[in-house]
């Protein structure tokens, strides 16, 4: 695992190999400790679809991200699974390009005076 903050105290990048046995990245104890908090933004772009499911991201990090950018949403089975997760977690799913979507908390409605 490699961690870098790019000179900013509020940015954390964790790289980890895809686990040979199991269903996702090999997050060691350091990575698990580093990623305990909440995140303003999560980016879902891996692992490569032919190797593993990307849905584990939602199990591990989804509830802790205020907003997520999701790649490869043009895959209909992946879109359907992400949509189910969004519905269950009361999140909005906005398609922002052919392959990319934005997941976020519902916008609060303004009260009229």
Backbone dihedral region of 75: left (phi > 0), alpha (psi from -120 to 50 degrees) or beta?
beta
Domain ranges of the chain: 1-36, 39-113
**What gap in Å lies between CA 79 and CA 89, rounded to an integer?**
15
In sequence order, the 6+-apart residues with CB closer than 8 A to the CB of 23 are 52, 53, 56
Confidence of residue 99 (pLDDT cuts 50, 70, 90): very high
Closest CA to 103 of 54, 43, 46, 59: 43
**Residue 34 scores a pLDDT above 70:** no
CATH architecture for the domain at 39-113 = 2-Layer Sandwich (3.30)
**What gap in Å lies between CA 27 and CA 15, rounded to an integer?**
9
* Interval 39-79: pLDDT, tens: 888 888 876 777 667 888 888 888 888 999 999 999 999 99
Report the chain's mean pLDDT, rounded to a whole number: 79
């Amino acid at each position: 695992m490699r961690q870098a903050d790019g000179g900013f105290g509020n940015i954390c990048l964790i790289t980890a190999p895809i686990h040979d046995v199991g269903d996702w990245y090999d997050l060691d104890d350091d990575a698990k400790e580093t990623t305990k908090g909440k995140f303003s933004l999560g980016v879902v772009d891996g692992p490569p679809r032919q190797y593993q499911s990307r849905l584990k991201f939602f199990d591990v990090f989804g509830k802790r991200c205020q907003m997520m950018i999701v790649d490869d949403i043009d895959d209909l089975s992946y879109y359907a699974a992400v949509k189910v997760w969004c519905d269950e977690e009361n999140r909005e799913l906005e398609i922002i390009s052919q392959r990319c979507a934005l997941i976020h908390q519902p916008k609060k409605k303004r009260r009229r005076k």
